[in-house]
Amino acid sequence: MTLEQLRIFVGVAEREHVTKAAEVLNVTQSAASGAVAALEARYGVPLFHRVGRGIQLTEAGRGFLEEARAVLGRAAHAETMLADYAGLARGSLRIVASQTIASYWLPARLAAFHERHPQIAVELAIDNTEGAAAQVLSGAAELGFVEGEVNEPALAHWIVGRDPMVLVGREDVGHVDEDWLRTARWIVREQGSGTRSTFEDVLRTRGFDPMQLTVAMTLPSNEAVRTAVEAGAGVSVLSRLVVARALKAGDLVELPLGLPDRAFHALRHKERYRTRAADALTDLIKEQVA
């Protein structure tokens, strides 16, 4: 088993498509297919179901994906540790962020980082809060940026920003009380999302059980939730960063709930080697907060 085989397997598994993975990994389709076939043949375990023209991970494939990511993460850390001795003249930085941060808060900061350190390649993955924490924990990412609370003793976390949350709908309402909260049709993010967990925590603090909400749709992205609300499917609580343009254009209206700001947190593993590139990015963010 080689690191290249693991790299190709992870690429194919994440996309569930050999051709797309081959293009991203800069290998031929036959090389990608061959690497997966070699792993399956060597151990006599199918990693993918072949369904028509598509592929899907088997149970063994899902388990192997987690282990393969961890191995690649450790190998990348070893390479980064050696490269780091050359300072910030070259190298890479792997980070993961939840959707709101990756789409609206982080890009400007990454652009500033690139201006200072143009030879450092930044690789950004997007996951919800739980998934981002898992990637930092496994070593697949060196830094994580999330909205939700993360209770993991192995991870250090600190506040890097504040995010106003707002209740939005298609039509204005005069008053929001508990009866309104119960009868409104809610469009929410999936479980594990920082946006959803923050909203539910606010409701609990106010003595309202989130289970009493009438959830019309559960959607996997902020943009999908916003679009559904704009279409009149219901109401939702989202970051002001996500809905700012829609509010300005009149496509959405802010409803009177009075939500507190939530914190954006950075995450890193307490025991893993910390690169100069990671320190440089966190220092830049601190400068902008100060």
Q: What is the CATH number of the domain that holds 246?
A: 3.40.190.10
Q: How confident is the model at residue 77, as a pLDDT? A: 79
- Same domain membership, residue 142 and residue 93: yes
Cα-flanking dihedrals φ and ψ of residue 150, to 5°?
-125, 115
Number of structural domains, the chain? Answer: 3
How, if at all, do strands 48-51 and 54-57 pair?
A: antiparallel
- Same domain membership, residue 277 and residue 136: yes
Contact 184, 191 (CB under 8 A): no
Closest alpha carbon to 45 in 57, 27, 30:
57
- Same domain membership, residue 26 and residue 143: no
Beta bridge partners of 264: 161
DSSP 175-209: ---HHHHHHSEEEEEPTT-HHHHHHHHHHHHTT--
On whether residue 47 sits in a domain, the answer given is yes
User: What CATH number is associated with residue 65?
Assistant: 1.10.10.10
**Residue with structure tokens 């450790």?**
74
- Same domain membership, residue 174 and residue 255: yes
Q: Is the pTM of this model over 0.95?
A: no
- Same domain membership, residue 200 and residue 235: yes
Mean pLDDT of 161-188: 90
- Same domain membership, residue 273 and residue 195: no
Q: Euclidean distance between the first and final Cα of the chain, in Å? A: 48
Q: How confident is the model at residue 86, as a pLDDT? A: 64
Angle among Cα 104, 110, 114 to the nearest 5 degrees reads 155
Quote the DSSP letter at residue 56: E
Cα-flanking dihedrals φ and ψ of residue 187, to 5°?
-110, 120
On whether residue 74 sits in a domain, the answer given is no
Mean pLDDT of 98-109: 90
pLDDT score of 217 more than 90: yes
- Same domain membership, residue 269 and residue 249: no
- Same domain membership, residue 252 and residue 206: yes
- Same domain membership, residue 181 and residue 154: no
On whether residue 85 sits in a domain, the answer given is yes
Q: How do the residues of the chain divide into helix, strand and coil, expressed in percent and rounded to 5?
A: 50, 25, 25
- Same domain membership, residue 222 and residue 101: no
Question: Alpha carbon of 284 to those of 76, 265, 277: distances in Å?
Answer: 24, 15, 11
- Same domain membership, residue 269 and residue 145: yes
The whole domain housing 23 covers: 3-69
- Same domain membership, residue 214 and residue 198: yes
Q: How confident is the model at residue 286, as a pLDDT? A: 87
On whether residue 284 sits in a domain, the answer given is yes
